[in-house]
A and B are shown apart, each in its own frame.
Chain A
Amino acid sequence: MTVDVLDTVVTAETPEGILLELRPAGLSARLYAFAIDWLIRILVLYALAIATRPIGGVGTAVWLILFFLLEWFYPVAFELWRSGATPGKRLFNLKVVMDDGLPVTPVASLARNLLRTADFLPMLYGAAVVSVLTRADCKRLGDLAAATLVVHQPRGTRKTVSAAVVPLAPLHALAPRDQAAVIALAVRAPLLTKDRLDELAVLAASVAGNDSDPGPQLTQRVLGVAEWLLGRRS
């Protein structure tokens, strides 16, 4: 039954015995988030430098201390906040959680951010890039040691794909994987040529009635099943 799927889902079991699905964020999403955070820090430091310059020595002290705090504790502060994400991460819908899906703990957040130094080596986050690219759960070294994950926040379900299609109950119950396949087909439908869409819909013919000939009608019914699976009833 088990089929190897090229996917990065990490499952975490709760004490109640259900499996939560966590979707680790890959290199590009994390890189964009990092770039945003980096920009924010630069801008804040620049603004502070202008603001503290007239105050003299005390101003410089404040600036240096804030520089230090921003460099090391900017991510820690935001991760321990309710959202579990820095502004950059929030923008890209990412979040830091523990391996078991729980909110990140203070020890783990501190550890993963202090160990950033090791991730930076040998230069420009080389170690982090290699680690994120080679591991299925996309952890950098700091995440490994702190047992944390950077995950995509689940989005709300799309309610409908195409309003023009009449929803249709499937002829038999579909396993979640098969449901996902039918829905994915409906999502991609506008991008496919008509012939190719008909061709693919044939593969799902069993859910919409085997007897019908391949063609636009069958395709409409398969798409209707997808709508039904997404919860539309009329």
Chain B
Amino acid sequence: MTPLQFEALYQSEWQELEILLQRFFVTRRKAEPGTLQGERLATLYRRVCEQLALARARSYPAYMLDRLERLTGNAHQVIYQRGEFGIATVKRLVSVEFPLTVRAHAAYVLVAGALLFVPMLIVGLLVYFRPDLILSVVDASTASSFEHMYSPTAASIGRLRSANTDWMMFGYYIMHNIGISFQCFAGGLLAGVGSIFFLIYNGASIGAVGGYLTERGLGVTFYPFVATHSAFELTAIVLAGAAGLRLGHSLLIPGRSTRLDSLVAATRRCTVLLYGSTVMLVIAAGIEAFWSSAPWLPPGIKYGVAALCWLAVLGYLTLQGRRRAS
């Protein structure tokens, strides 16, 4: 069969497939449900694959191979595209997949938690007993601004709020805190060193501020302020750090696969942790901006709500989705 005969024989199928694909790529949203003809598209796709293989084996001219390659490439994209990211997917992610992934990474989560909380405690205690050590973490003016922010007489607690509103701080917390968690994750690509560094660094910074304010007797405003949103914020950072540690681990100890394969597999699994981490940080930012900073709420209520939040977060991560997973 000459190329021209081949072309004449199958031309009509190629044109039909081109029209179907055109509908998919350009007018999908406007198209009537019946006009997309998925079944016909799949049939044509398989036939064109066969024709491409034949054309290649017979060394048909370049323009024809090119046309067939483009046809199969585009149809391949349409036929094997991912399912829509709908409500059902999100629901399954929240109710089963995310808590399940957290539990599957329990060891990483524990190590990441230790890397955040142990330096926090040690530095906190150090600064509490030797307050001048705060000056090796921040400079004097920053230290005094911390004191000012958490003084019981301040109109709103937390970061300085000169003419700022809760809304503005909400935006700031989202930008700043979620950025930190993403760094903890990405640091994992540096064989985990980046994640370890960011976890320890953030733990130590929080510890230093906490120890300093406690020593100054400002614990009465500081702890009610941080208690509630830290349930979401610290947990989220630990989860992002755990994802980073998993990346680093997969690079350092790839087991029986190549380093690259091991990294790809690890990334696919632990990116789910980032979904949850990000949502938790948005919740934390909302609480921090609108609830934690309200000075008129008595500490008792804040502590009570904080305890509920911690219980809810830990319960969700350890218990949710058990039945449906098994």
Partners in one complex: yes
Shortest distance from the beta carbon of B55 to any chain A beta carbon, whole Å: 10
Shortest distance from the beta carbon of A109 to any chain B beta carbon, whole Å: 10
Shortest distance from the beta carbon of B207 to any chain A beta carbon, whole Å: 24
Question: A111 touching B267 by the CB < 8 A rule?
Answer: yes
- Name the CB-closest residue of B to A174: B59
Shortest distance from the beta carbon of B82 to any chain A beta carbon, whole Å: 5
Known: A14-B76, A230-B63. A115 touches B186 (CB 8 A): yes
In the bound complex, CA of A183 to CA of B69 (Å): 18
Q: What secondary structure prevails in chain B residues at the interface with A? A: helix
Interfacial residues, chain A to chain B (CB-CB below 8 A)? 14, 16-18, 20-21, 56-58, 60-65, 67-68, 71-72, 80, 82, 101-103, 105-108, 110-111, 114-118, 121, 141, 144-147, 154, 156-157, 159, 173-176, 179-180, 183, 228-231, 233
> Chain B residues near A147 (CB, 8 Å)?
264, 267-268
Question: A20 touching B72 by the CB < 8 A rule?
Answer: yes
B217 near A: Cβ within 8 Å? Answer: no
Provide the B57-81 mask, 1 if CB < 8 A to any CB of A, else 0: 0110111111101101100110011
Question: B187 touching A176 by the CB < 8 A rule?
Answer: no
B121 near A: Cβ within 8 Å? Answer: no
Q: What secondary structure prevails in chain A residues at the interface with B? A: helix
In the bound complex, CA of A64 to CA of B176 (Å): 9
> Chain A residues near B166 (CB, 8 Å)?
57
Question: B247 touching A145 by the CB < 8 A rule?
Answer: yes
Known: A146-B264, A180-B62, A229-B61. 4 other contacts (CB 8 A): A82-B25, A110-B275, A115-B185, A116-B186
B157 near A: Cβ within 8 Å? Answer: no
B52 near A: Cβ within 8 Å? Answer: yes
Tell me which of A20, A102, A114 contacts B69 (CB under 8 A): A20
Question: A58 touching B165 by the CB < 8 A rule?
Answer: yes
Provide a sorted-by-A list of 25 A–B residue pairs whose CB atoms are within 8 angstroms.
Answer: A14-B49, A18-B49, A18-B52, A64-B174, A65-B175, A71-B175, A71-B179, A82-B25, A102-B76, A102-B77, A103-B82, A107-B267, A108-B268, A111-B268, A114-B182, A114-B185, A115-B185, A118-B194, A145-B247, A154-B66, A154-B70, A156-B70, A228-B61, A230-B62, A230-B63
Shortest distance from the beta carbon of B105 to any chain A beta carbon, whole Å: 15
Question: A154 touching B73 by the CB < 8 A rule?
Answer: yes
Question: A173 touching B58 by the CB < 8 A rule?
Answer: yes
Shortest distance from the beta carbon of A130 to any chain B beta carbon, whole Å: 13
B189 near A: Cβ within 8 Å? Answer: yes
Question: A117 touching B63 by the CB < 8 A rule?
Answer: no
Question: B56 touching A61 by the CB < 8 A rule?
Answer: no
In the bound complex, CA of A63 to CA of B167 (Å): 11
Question: B182 touching A183 by the CB < 8 A rule?
Answer: no
Once A and B bind, how many residue pairs between them come within 8 Å at the CB atom? 162
Question: B189 touching A58 by the CB < 8 A rule?
Answer: no
Shortest distance from the beta carbon of B51 to any chain A beta carbon, whole Å: 10
> Chain A residues near B263 (CB, 8 Å)?
144-145
B304 near A: Cβ within 8 Å? Answer: no
Q: For the complex, count residues of B whose C-beta is within 8 A of A.
A: 62
Shortest distance from the beta carbon of B297 to any chain A beta carbon, whole Å: 20
In the bound complex, CA of A142 to CA of B63 (Å): 35
Shortest distance from the beta carbon of B36 to any chain A beta carbon, whole Å: 14
Shortest distance from the beta carbon of B129 to any chain A beta carbon, whole Å: 36
Provide the B237-270 mask, 1 if CB < 8 A to any CB of A, else 0: 0000000000100000000000010011011100
B271 near A: Cβ within 8 Å? Answer: yes
B223 near A: Cβ within 8 Å? Answer: no
B170 near A: Cβ within 8 Å? Answer: yes
Tell me which of B4, B67, B72, B174 contacts A157 (CB under 8 A): B67
- Name the CB-closest residue of A to B173: A64
B315 near A: Cβ within 8 Å? Answer: no
Shortest distance from the beta carbon of B167 to any chain A beta carbon, whole Å: 4
Q: Within residues 171 to 192 of chain B, which ones have a CB less than 8 A from any CB in chain A?
A: 171-172, 174-175, 178-179, 182-183, 185-190
> Chain A residues near B49 (CB, 8 Å)?
14, 16-18
B168 near A: Cβ within 8 Å? Answer: yes
B115 near A: Cβ within 8 Å? Answer: no
Shortest distance from the beta carbon of B291 to any chain A beta carbon, whole Å: 16
Tell me which of A60, A141, A233 contacts B167 (CB under 8 A): A60
B272 near A: Cβ within 8 Å? Answer: yes
Shortest distance from the beta carbon of B263 to any chain A beta carbon, whole Å: 5
Question: A68 touching B178 by the CB < 8 A rule?
Answer: yes
B92 near A: Cβ within 8 Å? Answer: no
> Chain B residues near A60 (CB, 8 Å)?
164, 167-168, 171
Tell me which of B52, B63, B179 contacts A229 (CB under 8 A): B63
Known: A18-B53, A57-B165. A64 touches B171 (CB 8 A): yes
Which residue among A80, A107, A141, A144 has the maximum number of chain B CB atoms within 10 Å of its CB? Answer: A107
B196 near A: Cβ within 8 Å? Answer: no
In the bound complex, CA of A110 to CA of B164 (Å): 33
B46 near A: Cβ within 8 Å? Answer: yes
B85 near A: Cβ within 8 Å? Answer: yes
